[in-house]
Amino acid sequence: MKAMLLFRIGDLLTNPKPLTLADVPDPEPNIKELLLNVSVCGVCHTELDEIEGRTLPPSLPIILGHQVVGRVIKTGKGAEVFKVGDRVGVGWIFSSCGTCVFCTSGRENLCEKFRATGRDAHGGYAQLMTVQQDFAYPIPSAFSDAEAAPLLCAGAIGYRSLRLCRVEDGHHLGLTGFGASAHLMIQLVKKKYPSVTIYVFARNEQERHFAKELGAAWTGDITDPSPVKLDGIIDTTPAWRPVLEALKNLKRGGRLVINAIRKEEADKTHLLDIRYPEHLWLEKEIKSVANVTRNDIKEFLESASQIPIRPKVQEFPLEAANEALLELKKMQIHGAKVLRVGPDSL
C-alpha cells in the first residue's frame, strides 16, 4: 500500500517535506481488529507536534493521521461489532489498558497506557490501516467522508473542552484561535446553548471574519480586551501568550480551558509576566484537556448529526500531505484540512 512516512524529527519550516511517500506492506487485522480501506484522513495540529518533537512517536518511521474515515474490508477473529462494508471512523484514542481506575471510570483518556493513533500506532496517512473494533465508530449518514474526518478529533476534543468549560445558557464564552476545532465548537454552542454569547480572539483577519459568519458576537486580536468579562475561555492555540491574555478577560470564578496537547517553547517567557492579582486571583481556574475518551467521540458524532454541524473542509491528495501541514504551520487555516486517500465511501 501507499503511505506517507515520517522518518525523522525536525522543524517544519527548515524541512518543509518531512513525510515521504512510500510503498509499505499491507497490514493484517489481529484478534478483534478491523482492516480499513481509508477514504480520507484529517490533518491536525498534533501532527506538527509529532513532526517537530513536542509529542514524540516512540519509534520511527511512523504513519501519522488520527482523523480517519474508511470502509471495513476485512475483520480479525472475534471482531463482531462491524461487518465488511461498514463505514467507520478512528480518532486520536487508539487503545488503552481497559482495567485501570481511569479506564473503568470512563476516563481512559488519562490511562497510563493510552496509545494514540498515528503516534503510538500507524494511522491514516495511508491506503489501509488496522484498528481494534472497540475504538472504531460508525459514521452518521448525515456526513460525507471529508466532513466526518475533522469531527473525530477537532470536533470531539472541542466537545470535551466545552464540557470542561462548564458552558451554560446565558454565559459569555471566549474562543482563542479559530481553526478546525473552534469552527466546530461555535456551531455546537449556537445550537445547544442559544443564549450563550461568543467572543473570538484570532490573529488572522480571515479567521475573525469566518467566526463572524458562524455567529460570533464579537471578534478581536489575541491581545484585545473583550468588551465584557467572560465566564469561560477555550484556548486552541499552540502558544503561551494567549493564555496570559485570556486570564485578563476572565471574570471572577471563570475558567480557562487549554485545548492543546503541547505549548511551544518559543514564547514561554510570557509566563514570567503572570501577575497573581490581575491574572489568577478571585478563583480563576486553568484546566487542561488531555486526549479524548470513546464517549466523547460517540456523543459528539451523535450531536453533530442532529444539528447538523457542517465542517468547512479543504481537501488535499495524500501525496500533498506536506503541503497541507506547511499551510497549517503557517496558520493558513480556514476550517479543517483533509487528505483524500481513496474514493468517497458513502
User: For residue 205, what is the domain's CATH number?
Assistant: 3.40.50.720
The backbone torsions φ and ψ at residue 147, rounded to the nearest 5 degrees and listed phi first, read: -70, -35
From residue 82, give the alpha-carbon distance in Å to each of 38, 93, 135, 341: 16, 18, 11, 22
Whole-number Å distance between alpha carbons of 93 and 152: 10
- Per residue in 44-55, pLDDT (tens digit) is 999 999 999 999
Residues 308 and 262 in one domain: no
CATH number at residue 296: 3.90.180.10
Residue 269 lies in a domain: yes
Residues 179 and 308 in one domain: no
Euclidean distance between the first and the last CA atom of the chain, given in angstroms as a whole number: 22
Whole-number Å distance between alpha carbons of 188 and 199: 15
CA proximity to 231, closest of 248, 250, 217, 244? 250
Residues 14 and 83 in one domain: yes
The last residue of one of the domains, among 288, 315, 330, is 288
Q: Which residue has the cell 447538523?
A: 308
Residue 345 lies in a domain: no
Q: Which residue has the cell 466537545?
A: 159
Assess contact for 62 and 8: CB atoms under 8 A. no
- Per residue in 84-101, pLDDT (tens digit) is 999 999 999 999 999 999
Q: What is the pLDDT of residue 11?
A: 93
Residue 346 lies in a domain: no
Residues of the domain holding 40:
2-153+292-340
**Count of residues making up the chain:** 346
Residues 227 and 282 in one domain: yes
Whole-number Å distance between alpha carbons of 189 and 198: 9
In this structure, are strands 87-90 and 68-75 parallel, antiparallel, or unpaired? antiparallel
Residue 301 lies in a domain: yes
Q: What is the pLDDT of residue 147?
A: 96
Q: Mean pLDDT for the chain? A: 94
The last residue of one of the domains, among 250, 268, 288, is 288
- Per residue in 17-73, pLDDT (tens digit) is 999 999 999 999 999 999 999 999 999 999 999 999 999 999 999 999 999 999 999
Q: Please list the ranges in the chain whose pLDDT falls under 50.
A: none
In this structure, are strands 2-6 and 19-23 parallel, antiparallel, or unpaired? antiparallel
Whole-number Å distance between alpha carbons of 331 and 50: 17
Whole-number Å distance between alpha carbons of 43 and 41: 7
Residue 251 lies in a domain: yes
Residues 122 and 28 in one domain: yes
Q: What is the pLDDT of residue 17?
A: 96
Residues 303 and 270 in one domain: no
Collapsing DSSP states into helix, strand and coil, what is residue 9?
coil
Max intra-chain CA distance, the chain? 60
Q: Which three cell numbers stand for residue 8?
A: 525523522
Residues 270 and 240 in one domain: yes
Assess contact for 193 and 169: CB atoms under 8 A. yes
Residues 113 and 141 in one domain: yes
Residues 136 and 7 in one domain: yes
- List 201's β-bridge partners, or say none: 176, 220
User: What is the DSSP code string of 76-145?
Assistant: -TT--SS-TT-EEEE-SEEE--SSSTTGGGT-GGG-TT-EEBTTTB--SSBSEEEEEGGG-EEPPTTS-H
Residues 202 and 269 in one domain: yes
Q: In what order do the strands lie in the sheet with 62-63?
A: 19-23, 2-6, 62-63
Q: What is the pLDDT of residue 334?
A: 81
Whole-number Å distance between alpha carbons of 323 and 321: 5
Q: What is the pLDDT of residue 277?
A: 78
Q: Which three cell numbers stand for residue 299?
A: 456523543
Number of domains making up the chain? 2
Residues 139 and 197 in one domain: no
In this structure, are strands 128-132 and 33-43 parallel, antiparallel, or unpaired? antiparallel
From residue 302, give the alpha-carbon distance in Å to each of 43, 47, 292, 336: 22, 26, 16, 20
Residues 162 and 282 in one domain: yes
Could you give the percent of the chain with pLDDT greater than 70?
98
